Amino acid sequence: MSAMTESRHDSARPDRAAVNPTQAHRPHRKIRGRDERSPLASLGLHAALIGAAVIAVFPIAYMMFISLRGRDGWTTPTSAEGGLEISNYTYVLTETEFPRWFANSVLIALGTTALGVFIAASTGYAISRMRFPGHKSLMWVLLVTQMFPVAVLIVALYNILGGLGLLDSYVGLILTYCSVSVPFCAWMMKGYFDTIPYEIDEAGRVDGLTPFGTFYRLILPLAKPGLAVTAFYSFITAWGEVAFARAFLSSDSMLTLSVGLQSFIGQHKAEWGYLAASAVIITIPAGLIFLLVQRNLVAGLTAGGTKG
């Protein structure tokens, strides 16, 4: 009896090859590992990587070399006469207003980063978790603001800052840079907050936390990669911007690096040696910020870009 039952079940069991003959006859594709790569393919891959690295590093290395060739060393960059010296760095740091420009840029960039991260994170969390009148309209406004070029916004922002008495001030420039960085960062933070389970918010409310307490104590620690990308983008936006700083700053004591370095370019001659030394110094803070956030940079960009 059991043998008849077993044979009946075997006859009723569908054949996998009959159900999906394409998968049954599909050849198994073997993934080639690194050790199984042919010598020619390995050589081509390494040559391409080395070429890409050289192309990426060459401008920076050339700029550093020019900065160490003296004031007029850029006129004969291939010559080894005269050796290397730090006279350009000494002149920039001691004979110009570069330290003041540098301090102004650091203050404005850090202020933009702090305020931009706070506004972008709060806006992104509100759009991700709350449904309120004008929810979709707010999302479209954040997107549309990124479509206007800088030249179009300068006149309107100039009138607004002039009416508020914020021209030629740190606060005015910080608010201007936030108007550029916050819309993009808010969209990105909204996408990152969408990846965090809503049950965490509910657990915080069960424990007696307010919505702000839930956001500050539970959600923000989980959103460190997104916050790192937001901080990096806000800092770079303020650190390298030229048009707004040139239009809104007038006094010499308030100039930033992007405006102050233009004094090295005259009507008939440009001091490329001084400019190269200044450029090397300027890249140090940006490089340090990148090293601090690089661990979370890729995770924050991918999470914020895959969720809408």
User: Cα dist. 256→249, 266, 267, 287 in Å?
Assistant: 9, 18, 21, 19
Q: What pLDDT does 204 receive?
A: 86
Q: What is the DSSP letter of 218?
A: I
Q: What pLDDT does 5 receive?
A: 45
Q: Which residue type, as a one-letter code, is found at position 132?
A: F
296 in Cβ contact with 225 (< 8 Å): yes
Q: What pLDDT does 271 receive?
A: 86
300 in Cβ contact with 228 (< 8 Å): yes
Average pLDDT, the chain: 81
By mean pLDDT, which of 34-43, 54-63, 241-250, 254-263 is the weakest?
A: 34-43
Q: Is the dihedral of CA 157, 160, 162, 165 positive or negative?
A: negative
Residue 26's Cβ-side half-sphere holds a number of Cα atoms within 13 Å equal to 8
Whole-number Å distance between alpha carbons of 97 and 261: 9
pTM over 0.85: no
- Residue spans of the domains in the chain: they are 39-89, 94-306
Q: What pLDDT does 40 receive?
A: 86
pLDDT tens-digit readout, 247-302:
998 888 899 998 888 888 877 778 888 898 998 999 888 888 888 877 766 655 55
Q: What pLDDT does 3 receive?
A: 46
Kind and range of the H or E element at 61?
helix 39-67
Coil, strand or helix at 265: strand
Q: What pLDDT does 9 receive?
A: 46
CATH of domain 94-306: 1.10.3720.10
pLDDT tens-digit readout, 191-204:
888 888 888 888 88
Q: What pLDDT does 207 receive?
A: 85
pLDDT more than 70, % of the chain:
82
Rounded to a whole number of angstroms, the distance between the first and last alpha carbons of the chain is 60
71 in Cβ contact with 89 (< 8 Å): no
Q: What pLDDT does 82 receive?
A: 65
**Residue 306 pLDDT grade (very low, low, confident, very high; cuts 50, 70, 90):** very low
Q: Which residue type, as a one-letter code, is found at position 192?
A: Y
User: Cα dist. 91→63, 97, 108, 258, 275 in Å?
Assistant: 17, 10, 25, 18, 11
By mean pLDDT, which of 4-8, 119-123, 154-158, 232-236 is the weakest?
A: 4-8
Q: What pLDDT does 299 receive?
A: 59
Q: What pLDDT does 93 receive?
A: 92
**Residue 2 pLDDT grade (very low, low, confident, very high; cuts 50, 70, 90):** very low
Coil, strand or helix at 244: helix
Q: Is the dihedral of CA 253, 255, 261, 262 positive or negative?
A: negative
Both tokens of 100, joined, read 């003041």
Angle subtended at Cα 108 by Cα 104 and Cα 111, rounded to the nearest 5 degrees? 140
164 in Cβ contact with 172 (< 8 Å): yes
The DSSP line for 137-155 is HHHHHHHHGGGS-HHHHHH
Whole-number Å distance between alpha carbons of 122 and 182: 11
pLDDT tens-digit readout, 202-248:
888 888 888 888 888 888 888 888 888 899 999 999 998 889 999 99
Q: What pLDDT does 26 receive?
A: 54
